[in-house]
Chains A and B, each alone.
Chain A
Amino acid sequence: MPHSRLRRQHPGPVWRLFSSAGFRFAALFAAVFLLAALAFGSVLWWGTAGALERQTDAAIRADVHALTDRWRDGGAPSVAEAIEERLAVDAEGQTLYLLQDADGARQAGNLAELPRRDGNSAWHSVTLSHEDGPPGEGRLMVVELPDGGRLGVGREVGEKQQLRDLLTEGLAWATGAALVCAIIGAWLMRRALERRLAAASGTAAQIAGGDLSPRVPLSPHDDEFDRLGASMNTMLDRIAQLMDGVRGVSDAIAHDLRHPIARARNGLEEALLDEANDPAALRSAIERGITDLDNVSRVFQAVLRIAEVEHGARRAAFAPLDLALLLADAAELYGASAEAHGQVLETEWPESLPLVGDRDLLLQVLANLLDNAVKFSPPGAVIRVSAAQEEDAVLVRVADQGPGLSVPDRARVGERFFRADAARTTPGSGLGLSLVRAVVQMHGGALWFADAGGPPDHPGLAVLLRLPVSAGTEKPAA
C-alpha cells in the first residue's frame, strides 16, 4: 500500500501561495499582530475619546435629573429659572437647553427646537446650526415631562469631536503602520521558514533522487528545525542500516547456499559421468546431494521462521507453560551431546518457572543456546545453565567456556548469517542467535551477552535472556 497521498494539482501560483505553510504561518502572524494592534487601539479609544463621551453623557444625565427634580418641586417656572441660571454662568457657550410646554412652545433655553422623536431613545447626536458661526456637533438628552412638555439638555461637543478626529487620524496612521509592520513581519517570517526548511527539503529531494548518503545539515541553534533535521538524519541512518542489512542477508544467502548447491550439483554430475556405472556409487552421490539440498532447505526454513517470528505471526500460539520443564527437556537433550564432547552440563533452576509464551519457540531458543555452548566449548569444559524467578520475569543464563565474543561482535550477533571470526571454522549458518533474538523480542523480553568469567584469553560467553512472566508486558530491549 503506498504511503504517499496523491497530491492534487492546482493551476496557478496564487493557489500555491495560499497552500504554502510558510504563507499560512505568515498570515497567522499578521492576523495576530493586527488583532493585537486593534485591541490596543480599542483600549486607547475607550480610554480617551470614549471616556470623554461617557463623561459628557454623565454630565447631561445628571443635569436632566436635577432639572426634572426641580420640575417636580416647582413646576415649569422653576425649571425655566434653573435653565436661565445655568446659561448665565456658561461663558463658553457649551450648554444647550430647551424647555417646551405641552404645545411645543419654548419656555426657556437657547435652542430653537428639539430633535424629532427617534424611537425610544432619549439620546440624540445633532448638528447645531449657529446664525453667527460655523455649525457644530451636539449631544442632547430629551425627556418627556409629566405635563406633556419636553425638556432637552445637551452639550456642544465640537471640541471633543475635534479631539476625537485627531485621535481617529492617529489611530488610522497607527493601524496603517501596524499593517505595514505585519506585512513585513509576515514576509520575513515566511522567508525565515523557507530558509530553515530549505536544507531539509533539499536533502529529501536528493534522497528521492536515489542518493541515500546526504544528511540534513544542522545549525548550532538546536531549535525545532534542527531537531526535525536530527530526527530525519537518524531515520536515514536507520534506513541505510536496514538496507545494508538486507543487502548483507542477500549476500550471505548467496554465499552460504552456493557451496552446498554447487557441491550437490558436482557430485550428481560426477556420478552421472562415471563410466563404471556403479549403482552403489550413484546411490551414494544422490544421498549426498539430498543431504546438501536438505541443508539448503533448512537454511531457508530458518530464515522463514525468523521472519515469521519477527512479524509476530506465532503470537496466537502463546499459552501458559513452565519454563523449568523446557529447561529440563533441553538439558536432557544436550546433556548427552555435551557428554559426547567430554563436557559437563551443570544445571540450576527452581522447581517451577511459570510464564506465558510459545513452547516450541522457547524450546528452540534453549536448544540453539545449548547447541552453541557445546559447539564452542572445548572438551572438559563446564557448561552452566541456570534460571531464576524475578519479580515479573524469568532470567535464564547459559554460560560456556568457549572463546567468548568481542564487544563489537556482541552488537552484531543477532544479525542474520553473522558469524564471528572465531566461529568461521565451526559448522553453522549464523542464524541460530538471530532466531533467539527474534523469539525473545516476540515475547517482549531482553537478550544480552556477558563474559562467562574465564581467563582473559578464553573468557567464555554467558548468554542472558529475560522473559516476562506475561509475554509482551516488558519492552523489548534486545
Chain B
Amino acid sequence: MDLLRRDVVLLLLLAMPASAQEVRVLPLGEAECVELSARLARNARAWRDPARGLAAEGRRLCRDGYFRAGVAKLRRAVRATQGGADTARP
C-alpha cells in the first residue's frame, strides 16, 4: 500500500508542471475582522438573524485572537445578509 502511494505521488509529481511556484497567502488578521465588521455595520440586514448571531460570534472569535475562525464567521454573516442560505454551520 505504501509502495503504491509512493507510486501515485510520483505519478502526480510527473503529471504536475515541473515549475510549480510557491505563492504566499496573506494571513487573516484583525484588519479583516475590522473591515468585515464595518461592512456588516453598513448593512441593515445584518441586524437580523442569522446574520446577527454569526456576526457576533465572529467578532468574539476575533477579539479572542482566533482571526481565521472569526473571519470565517463574519464572512458567513455577510453572505447571510446577501440572501445566502449559509446558516447551518455555527
Contact = CB atoms under 8 A, between A and B. Distances in A.
B59 interface: no
Contacts of A89: 75, 78-79, 82, 84
B72 A96 contact: no
A130 B39 CA distance: 25
Interface string A137-174: 01010000000000000000000000011001100110
Interface stretch (A109-117, A332-340, A366-374, A432-440): A109-117
A316 interface: no
B66 to A, nearest CB: 10
A169 B25 contact: no
B64 interface: no
Contacts of A90: 75
Main SS at interface, chain A: mixed
B12 interface: yes
Contacts of B86: 91
Interface string A375-398: 000000000000000000000000
Contacts, number: 90
Interface residues of A, number: 37
Contacts of B85: none
B49 interface: no
A125 B84 contact: no
Given A89-B78, A91-B72, A111 B84 contact: no
Contacts of A114: 23
Point out which of B16, B21, B75 has the most chain A C-beta atoms below 10 A from its C-beta.
B21
A138 B8 CA distance: 20
A365 B76 CA distance: 112
A133 B9 CA distance: 21
A91 B75 contact: yes
Contact of B36 (A88, A113, A126, A127): A88
A124 interface: yes
A165 B20 CA distance: 17
Nearest to A133: B68
Interface of B: 4-5, 7-8, 11-12, 16-17, 19-28, 35-36, 39, 68, 72-73, 75-76, 78-79, 82, 84, 86
